[in-house]
């Protein structure tokens, strides 16, 4: 269940398209299992469910158009080959169109490349410098999203009892979550958990952990933060011999999102928006090679097999959805009668899901919008989509009561979470302009 403050309880919310300021608002899960759909045979059960509470997101300030990705790298690598540089830039633009990404927010910029020329040399050992750059930039980006979520929540940061941090682009001990906790002023008794290298299922994994904590501890308030910076670890000069890397350059980006999770909301400060009812994770054996990244001495290398991804989604997604939804009776409603919070991954992922389930185009509109405006930020992307789904329902007066959250990740893994919209069965506890 999402928790939200009553209208009039906070300041104006930042508008979309403002870079790091992003968009923030309230989300959460719930404490009671709701009545299942009519005819499902399920009755109301009293239990504590983990709750996704107030949500916020942030992205690095620099706005980079898809067609200009890697321009600086190309210029410097090909400074004595002007025609080759122009060809490479045009290829990057074409691939940007193929990925459906119009713009992204990247931490990588010309200043960082001037400071670290080794990032442009594929033979140079640059991984330590890349990880150090991530360690320097990520805490403030993650803390910006978390601070907005806490402000919307309406309770002091000291009331946070747990911190669950997910990333696939940071590798250090102690983990970055320690620095984030310090920036936010969290208690020195806050219980910290780091989830690493789950890639596009990073947020789903963090939500599962937070939900389990909330269900076992009614007073717990868990701050979930997901942050990734692939633009630093994954930046390479375009290489036609490695097409997966070039496509990745046109697709991936940086960002951070934060959600507060709890159970038994304290009204009037905390009001439920979502009930998070059940989760399902399915890892398909023998598919580790389909989508993977490897840390090398010169950063992250990508390995993607699109055709196999499509086949795996087509053959497995429905049974994975059934694992979370059938016990609740939700699957009987039909896929097009649910709202969908889907990690976009890329156009091929959404097209495959849409075809496999015969979804109407508007069901994945929020996912496509986030991909277009922000690119694939890996883990945090799902929080951005959740944010956009709520915004659209409030603006369009959406009436779907039941929904599903889906993400796809390495393994090949499919994560599913069943959601129930509260507040008169709509994600709309306050005025439509409240977000």
- Between 96 and 302, whose confidence is greater? 302
Q: State the pLDDT at residue 207.
A: 93
Task: Confirm whether 5 is domain-assigned.
Answer: no
Order of strands across the sheet that contains 191-196: 24-25, 51-58, 254-262, 221-229, 162-167, 191-196
pLDDT higher than threshold 80 for residue 278: yes
Task: Confirm whether 204 is domain-assigned.
Answer: no
b vs e for 125-147, b when ≥16 Cβ sit within 10 Å of the residue's Cβ? ebbebbbebbbebbbebbbbbbb
How large is the average pLDDT for residues 241-265? 78
Residue-wise pLDDT for 382-412, tens only, equals: 999 999 998 888 777 667 889 999 999 888 8
pLDDT band (50, 70, 90) for residue 248: low
- Cα–Cα distance, 171 to 159 (Å, whole number): 28
Q: State the pLDDT at residue 423.
A: 64
Q: Distance of CA 205 to CAs 226, 390, 408, Å?
A: 10, 21, 11
pLDDT band (50, 70, 90) for residue 189: very high
State the chain's maximal CA–CA distance in angstroms. 72
How large is the average pLDDT for residues 356-381? 93
Query: Do strands 191-196 and 162-167 pair parallel, antiparallel, or not at all (unpaired)?
Result: parallel
Q: Distance of CA 214 to CAs 51, 87, 160, 278, 323, Å?
A: 7, 53, 12, 13, 22
Q: State the pLDDT at residue 424.
A: 38
pLDDT band (50, 70, 90) for residue 144: very high
pLDDT band (50, 70, 90) for residue 31: very low
Catalytic residue set: 200
Residue-wise pLDDT for 310-356, tens only, equals: 899 889 999 899 988 988 888 888 999 999 999 998 888 899 999 99
Other C-beta atoms within 10 Å of 268: how many? 10
* Prediction pTM value: 0.80
Instruction: Give the phi and the psi of residue 191 in degrees, each rounded to 5.
Output: -90, 115
Task: Confirm whether 59 is domain-assigned.
Answer: no
Q: State the pLDDT at residue 343.
A: 95
Task: Confirm whether 17 is domain-assigned.
Answer: no
How large is the average pLDDT for residues 176-195? 96
> What is the DSSP track for 194-239?
EEES-GGGHHHHHHHHHHHHHHH-TT-EEEEEEEEEHHHHT-----
Beta bridge partners of 283: 413
Share of the chain above pLDDT 90, in %: 36
Q: Domain tally for the chain?
A: 1
* CA-closest candidate to residue 207, choices 374, 8, 385: 385
Task: Confirm whether 347 is domain-assigned.
Answer: yes
Question: What residue numbers bound the domain in which 372 lies?
Answer: 275-434
Residue-wise pLDDT for 9-26, tens only, equals: 333 333 333 333 332 233
Q: State the pLDDT at residue 98.
A: 60
Task: Confirm whether 300 is domain-assigned.
Answer: yes
Task: Confirm whether 407 is domain-assigned.
Answer: yes
CATH code where residue 346 lies: 3.40.47.10
Task: Confirm whether 154 is domain-assigned.
Answer: no
| 185: its two tokens | 């002023």
């Amino acid at each position: 269940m999402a928790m939200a403050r009553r209208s009039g309880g906070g300041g104006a919310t930042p508008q979309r398209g403002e870079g790091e300021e992003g968009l923030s608002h309230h989300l959460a899960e719930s404490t009671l299992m709701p009545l299942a759909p009519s005819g499902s045979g399920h009755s109301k059960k009293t239990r504590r469910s983990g709750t996704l509470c107030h949500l916020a997101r942030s992205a690095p300030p620099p706005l980079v158009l898809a067609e200009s990705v890697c321009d600086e790298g190309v210029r410097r690598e090909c400074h004595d080959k002007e025609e080759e540089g122009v060809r490479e830039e045009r290829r990057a633009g074409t691939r940007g169109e193929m990925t459906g990404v119009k713009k992204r927010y990247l931490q990588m910029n010309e200043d960082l490349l001037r400071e670290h020329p080794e990032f442009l040399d594929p033979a140079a050992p640059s991984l330590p410098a890349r990880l150090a750059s991530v360690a320097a930039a990520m805490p403030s980006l993650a803390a910006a999203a978390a601070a907005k979520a806490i402000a919307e929540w309406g309770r002091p940061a000291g009331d946070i009892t747990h911190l669950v941090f997910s990333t696939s682009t940071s590798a250090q001990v102690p983990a970055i979550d320690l620095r984030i906790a310090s920036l936010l002023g969290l208690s020195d008794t806050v219980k910290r958990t780091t989830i690493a290298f789950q890639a596009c299922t990073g947020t789903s994994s963090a939500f599962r952990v937070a939900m389990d904590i909330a269900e076992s501890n009614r007073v717990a308030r868990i701050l979930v933060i997901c942050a990734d910076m692939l633009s630093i670890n994954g930046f390479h000069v375009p290489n036609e011999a490695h097409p997966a890397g070039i496509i990745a350059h046109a697709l991936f980006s940086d960002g951070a999102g934060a959600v507060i999770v709890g159970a038994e909301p304290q009204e009037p400060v905390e009001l439920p928006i979502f009930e998070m009812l059940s989760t399902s994770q399915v890892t398909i054996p023998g598919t580790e090679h389909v989508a993977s990244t490897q840390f090398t001495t010169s950063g992250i290398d990508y390995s993607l097999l699109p055709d196999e991804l499509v086949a795996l989604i087509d053959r497995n997604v429905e049974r994975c959805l059934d694992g979370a939804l059938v016990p609740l009776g939700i699957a009987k409603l039909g896929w097009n009668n649910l709202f969908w919070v889907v990690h976009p991954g890329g156009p091929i992922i959404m097209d495959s899901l849409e075809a496999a389930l015969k979804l109407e185009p508007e069901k994945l509109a929020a996912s496509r919008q986030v991909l277009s405006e922000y690119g694939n930020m890996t883990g945090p992307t799902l929080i951005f989509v959740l944010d956009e789904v709520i915004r659209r329902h409030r603006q369009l007066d959406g009436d779907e009561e039941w929904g599903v959250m889906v993400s796809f990740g390495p393994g090949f893994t499919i994560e599913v979470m069943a959601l129930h919209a509260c507040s008169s069965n709509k994600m709309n506890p306050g005025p439509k302009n409240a977000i």
